[in-house]
Structure formats: structure tokens, C-alpha cells
Amino acid sequence: MSVIYWAFVVYLFVPLALMVVMGFKDSRFVGFPIRGWTLNWYAEIFRDSEVLGVFAYSMTIALSTTFLSLVIGVWIATFLGPNKFRGKLIVFALTCLPAVIPGIISAISLRIFARLLEIDPGMVAIILGHTVHNVPFVALVVMARLSTLPKSHIEAARDLGADAIVAFMRITLPYLLPALIGAGIFCMLLSFDDFIRAFFLGSYEPTLPVLIFAMLRSGMSPEINAISTVVLVLTAVLGLWAERSMRRLNGSR
């Protein structure tokens, strides 16, 4: 089993390491041998106003999508979690449906739906598409956390005079905070990394994955590797921060 594990580690991390290494190459040719090293590609992307603007545009979409996904996902989870009613399984299946539909089909259907609502391609349409795709993940994570909440906590709050809203804000929401952090980071990374929906729902202003795709059409270059490395580092930092925050919150409870 250890051999299989380390083979998987090599399979996973060697391509990432090669991508990072190529971002420091001193020529535009991506490949070996590497005769010199440079930081010019990183300096170039941080001086490139187009790349910085696209990065800010993608981050704005990701943050907006995350906020909406958390609000809608928590509402669905609190509705489906403790309540029992006829058709609950059907509602749950419909909630999860956007997460299992193939990306290309989802993107086309969302494009048609956006046109039906008279929403022009652009930021609003992308946020709508990403939110629809991300809500199921939030709902599932929050429902899993909500299932471990002792009912006695809510009952004690209600016995002390708290109404449903106060009990949710003072008891349920703080208890869900680790799940919200994890789901929020996951949604933000999904939105930031999404290409298909951003491509179909976007306009002339591309997101970062769409920009990288456009740059790839003219061939690989160390600049693309540098951009990808920066995104990889930011993703790793966010993931480690989320994991550490969730552990701390769970430990404090």
C-alpha cells in the first residue's frame, strides 16, 4: 500500500513541480534543458495591467459567488436538515443536481436561462452560473455539520426566551462557522478556477482561466507557468488557512 501511496504522490506533485520550475526559465521555450534562471516572468505579470485587472475581476466574481452560495446554501441546509416532509428526498436531489450535471451542459443551459432573464453576458451572468453550481456543495457541508448539533442547545435557548431567529444567530450560526469557512474557501476556489461557465457566460472581459486559455492558443510560455504558480501558491495558502481555522474552531468547542 505504501508503494501505491507514494506512486500517487509522485503522479500528483511532479507535474506541479515541473510547472513551477518552468516559470523560472530564462527563455520562452518551455522544456528542458534549462540553461539559466530568472524572475523576469514574475516581474512581468505583476507589471502587466491586463493580468492584474483580470485577476481582480476573477476575485470579485469569486467573492460575490461565495457570499451568495453561503447564504442560499445555509438556508437550504437549515430547511432540509431538521425538517421532515413529503418530497424531501426529491427536493434534496434537485438541490444536488447542479453539482452532478456535466459542465458543458450546465454552461449551455445557464446561458439560455440568462438570456431568458435578459441578463447580458458578463459579470452578473457568471456570478449567477457559479452560484447555481456552488450552492449544492455548501448545502451538503452545512447539512453534515448541522446533523451533529445537539438539539438540547436549541431547546435550551428557546426555553430561555429566544425566538427562532435569535436561536439561529446565537447558537446555530456559531456552531456552523467551521463548515462555513471550509465551504466558503471551496466555493471561492471553484469559482476562481472555473473555465467552462465563465467562457459561455462571459463577455469581452475574461476571467483568469479564460485569459490563460487565450494565451495558450499562441503556445506555451514561462509567463503562463508563472501565472499558474502564483495561483497555485494562493490556493495553497487559502487551503492551509481554512484547515487551520477549522481545526482551531473545532478545538475551541
What 8-state DSSP symbol labels residue 29?
Answer: -
- Report if residue 72 sits inside a domain: yes
- Report if residue 49 sits inside a domain: no
pLDDT for 59-84, tens place per residue?
999 999 999 999 999 998 888 877 67
- Report if residue 26 sits inside a domain: no
- Report if residue 44 sits inside a domain: no
Residues of the domain holding 179 = 57-252
Q: Which CATH number fits the domain that encloses residue 215?
A: 1.10.3720.10
Burial class (CB in 10 A: 0-12, 13-18, 19+), 164: exposed
Rg (CA), the chain: 22
- Report if residue 106 sits inside a domain: yes
13 φ/ψ angles, rounded to the nearest 5 degrees: -100, -25
pLDDT for 185-206, tens place per residue?
889 988 988 889 999 998 888 8
CB–CB of 227/55 below 8 Å? no
- Report if residue 2 sits inside a domain: no
- Report if residue 135 sits inside a domain: yes
> What pLDDT does 244 receive?
79
CB–CB of 228/19 below 8 Å? yes
Q: Does the predicted model carry a pTM greater than 0.75?
A: yes
> What pLDDT does 126 receive?
93
- Domain total in the chain: 1
pLDDT for 123-171, tens place per residue?
999 999 999 999 999 999 898 888 887 777 776 777 677 777 777 778 8
Residue 37, SS3? strand
Which residue, among 134, 141, 218, has the nearest Cα to 181 in the 3D structure?
141
> What pLDDT does 61 receive?
94
> What pLDDT does 81 receive?
73
- Report if residue 80 sits inside a domain: yes
What 8-state DSSP symbol labels residue 169?
Answer: I
> What pLDDT does 205 receive?
85
Report for 24-33, 88-97, 147-156, 183-192: range of highest mean pLDDT: 183-192
State the CB neighbour count (10 A cutoff) for residue 6.
10
